[in-house]
Amino acid sequence: MKNIFKTLPLAIAAIAAASCTWDPIKNDIPAVQETMVLSASKDSVVILAETMANEEITFEWTEARQMSDDYYLSYTAKLDVLGNNFGSKTAIVREFEVGETSTSFTLEQINNYANDRWALKVNEDFYLQFRVIATWVGGTTFEIPEVKTVTVHVTPIHVIVFNADEISLSGSAMEVDATLEKCPENEKIFAWSGEIDKGKLQIPVSYAGETFYIAPKDNSAAFRDSTKFDIVMVEEPFEWDMPAKDNYRVVVNMDAATATMYSSAHDLQPFYTGDWYAANKPENGQMKSFAVTNLWLRGETAGWAALGVDLKLKVSPADPQILVYTGPKITKSGRTDFSTVSSYTVQKPDGTDFNGNVNNAYVFAPLKEISEMSGSDWNLGSLKENTAYPMQGGSGAERGGYFKCPAGITFMIFNLREMTWQYKL
């Protein structure tokens, strides 16, 4: 028994020594001799708007290894972006039979895949990966597929981005970064008012998870007071030279691709009525000029209410003379103008008070030569949505002119600077 235990370690050592001399070439499965070679017609491509519909990139491969007639060979091709690992939701898949050894994609297709399927960042280079898999079925044994992959560098079409989720102000001229407000009259117009120091001002734009910067089209960093200028969106920070510490208004119009900056000396001011007489009669007393920041519905749409209907207008941060209605649906139709006050009291020349309301106030009404107004009703009919109609203001014959409004209005813009009114149902 003792001898058994003595010889056992020796036997184990002998087996271990034998294993060190085991030849993998003699004992392992022979390597598969692959014959398929894959290539791309271009190592890199640049997508241009004017040529992308006609320009192609072609992928070609040679036949995979020959097998007996017991096996059926087919090819699967996959196109994707490097990093996606040919996922089921991202890869473009095509099937091919024996004898089919190439496929092509136009650069327009690649551009569309980049935008829609792969959701790549705008204007950022990427790498295409194209893979071919040769697969056999049938026969008596499993055959290892041949898999080949090539990579192509792509410079995407340069997209001029003009949209924004958020626009900010930053830089050394800003003690605290600020966010521009979307304007109620147009969500593509952004504006802000506040204090800016002397120094450098940047206007970064956040859009679709990316950061861009507003820059003047002429690339001038000079501050242009109250002058509208064309803008572009760039990927690198651009800085304006702000000349002095002051209160500024900054307006960016993404629809028109323009911006305007105002110093306090040239800032936009509210609309003032000027002094006016109640019902345009001096004997009723005179109201002093005041800034118009709200209006009241007057006429049939207000049910001829003596105090009108408070529209609770929003003042645009881009221009204090743009007033916007975004309230409840106006359910009534008919003759309408817009009063600057609901009620007021003025002193008459004899020292007594005149208590006025919307019916003898300063109003905004359709533009019409006063000499053509009878002082009774004059209706502007056939109104169309989203059409800016001219109007005028006053406390005299203007009160006899009405817009003929439809029922269902939910949105109105009063542009007192341009003296226009428009609506949307």
Token output for 313? 């207008």
Q: What number of other Cβ atoms are within 10 A of residue 111's Cβ? A: 20
pLDDT band at 141 (very low <50, low <70, confident <90, very high): confident
Geometric angle at alpha carbon 185, from 182 and 190, rounded to 5°: 25
> 140-165 burial string, b = 16+ CB within 10 Å, else e?
eeebebbebebebebebbeeebbebe
Q: Integer distance in angstroms from the first to the last C-alpha of the chain? A: 105
Span 230-245, mean pLDDT? 95
What backbone phi and psi angles, to 5 degrees, belong to 86? 50, 50
Residue type, 77: A
Span 125-147, mean pLDDT? 93
Tell me, what's the pLDDT at 55? 96
CA distances from 384 to 375, 403, 409, 416, 421 (A): 25, 11, 11, 19, 11
CATH 2.60.40.3620 for domain 166-266 = yes
Residues 6+ apart with CB under 8 A from 227: 260
Give the predicted TM-score (pTM) of the model: 0.70
Domain boundaries in the chain? 33-155, 166-266, 276-424
Tell me, what's the pLDDT at 94? 96
- pLDDT above 90: residue 416: yes
Tell me, what's the pLDDT at 369? 62
Best CATH choice for the domain 33-155 from the list 2.160.20.10, 3.30.70.1400, 2.102.10.10, 2.60.40.10: 2.60.40.10
Helix (H) or strand (E) holding 58: strand 56-61
For 266-287, how does the pLDDT look when each residue is reduced to its tens digit (9 = 90+)?
A: 999 999 999 999 999 999 999 9
For 49-101, how does the pLDDT look when each residue is reduced to its tens digit (9 = 90+)?
A: 899 999 999 999 999 998 888 999 999 999 999 999 999 999 999 999 989 99
pLDDT band at 195 (very low <50, low <70, confident <90, very high): very high
- pLDDT above 90: residue 9: no
Nearest CA to 100 out of 82, 121, 122, 75 is that of 75
- pLDDT above 80: residue 367: yes
Token output for 46? 């640049």
Question: How is 355-380 classified by DSSP, letter by letter?
Answer: EEEGGGS-EEEE---GGG--SS-EEE
Strands 204-207 and 199-201: unpaired
33-155 and 166-266 have identical folds? yes
Q: Reduced to 3 states, what is the DSSP secondary structure of residue 240?
A: strand
Helix (H) or strand (E) holding 262: strand 258-262
For 22-57, how does the pLDDT look when each residue is reduced to its tens digit (9 = 90+)?
A: 555 555 556 778 999 999 999 999 999 899 999 999
Beta strands of 117-245 (E only): which ranges? Answer: 126-138, 146-155, 166-169, 178-179, 181-183, 186-196, 199-201, 204-207, 210-216, 229-234, 240-242
Tell me, what's the pLDDT at 28? 58
- The DSSP secondary-structure symbol of 275 reads S
